[in-house]
Structure 1
């Protein structure tokens, strides 16, 4: 790679990003679970195994709840920080001397995470006050999900992914060009079998 090729590649460099979905209507989960459990109960009409009118109504409620929860789901697009910005953010939130968790992570766990989410958020564009309100509305599990994703964006390596499913459906041009037509393979296999059989017959005759 020469300098011009390097410059062209570097101009395309982008930091890794990740989407995190957060449902803000967690209160609907319990009702969904209750209805879904009812739906899983065997029908009273065991003779015909037909779906009862009651089950159809419950199914409609389950689907409606799913749509309501989907509409209440916020998708956050996060982006990794530049190396110097990451180092500065950690320096701005140093670990407390008497906190063992801080010393392990190398940060102030009480102040670092909110700041990290704010500076990493790409979409939607929210000011600091709205980000703080959002984080305060989350459960511990949701907050951990969000901050873990943000931390991993900055701490994990980026490698070329591989999808075995996509590879089977749409093989690369190189792999396709290396594949021989099935008719040729069949002919070769048949010829090889004939040669092997002929050789075996000759050996038996000689013996």
Structure 2
């Protein structure tokens, strides 16, 4: 494919982040899952070494497995897949410039939290909002989402948005598939 064709088809990088927005269901799932895991660990530690008389039967299903399956299905119903897209370079540069690092007025020193060269408290919410292309977050939807998610969930979105813009994601170079390597006749 020639350069012009590739350039005509160029798109910005995208990724998705799935978040369960129902913390109560997630907490119940984690509680039931922990009970199942604990019982499985107890059963494994109580089995006698070398005693394989029951090995052909396999472990009995946990009595809470149907409840765990129900909670997993409920979590899926409350999970939203967010599609994030890298920002065009001019938009990224502008966003970066709009959020300079904070400086202590008395000492003149940069706030240590802003080691990336930006005011992280203001930059990352703006970056995430600008990067999410689906679902649409116009109007008060962004504020409502921002208030509804945990810090860990926000960090997943922020990390994805940062990586889209700052981490090299091109196809890695491989010596084994390089045309010049295959045709070099060096073997």
Q: Same fold (TM over 0.5)?
A: yes
**Moved runs in structure 1, 4+ residues, more than 6 A?**
46-50
What residue is the counterpart of 2:17 in the other structure? 20
**What secondary structure is seen at the aligned counterpart in 1 of 2:84?**
strand
User: Relative contact order: is structure 1 or structure 2 higher (C-alpha 8 Å, sep ≥ 6)?
Assistant: 2
- Structure that is richer in helix per residue: 1
**Mind listing any 5+ residue stretches in structure 2 that lack a counterpart?**
48-52, 105-110, 180-187
Mapped pair 1:126 → 2:140: no
**What secondary structure is seen at the aligned counterpart in 1 of 2:120?**
coil
**Mind listing any 5+ residue stretches in structure 1 that lack a counterpart?**
163-171, 175-207
Mapped pair 1:64 → 2:44: no
What is the distance in 1 between the residues matched to 2:139 and 2:157? 16
Larger Rg: 1
CA RMSD of aligned residues (A): 2.8
Instruction: State the Cα deviation string for residues 98-125 of structure 1 (Å, max 9, x = none).
Output: 22222x1111122111111111111111
What residue is the counterpart of 1:177 in the other structure? none
Instruction: Work out the number of aligned pairs and report it.
Output: 155
* Cα shift at 1:161: 6.0
Tell me the TM-score normalised to structure 1 length.
Answer: 0.66
Say if 1:89 and 1:125 are closer, same or farther in 2 by CA, change over 3 A.
same
Tell me the TM-score normalised to structure 2 length.
Answer: 0.72
What is the distance in 2 between the residues matched to 1:17 and 1:153? 7
Say if 1:149 and 1:128 are closer, same or farther in 2 by CA, change over 3 A.
farther
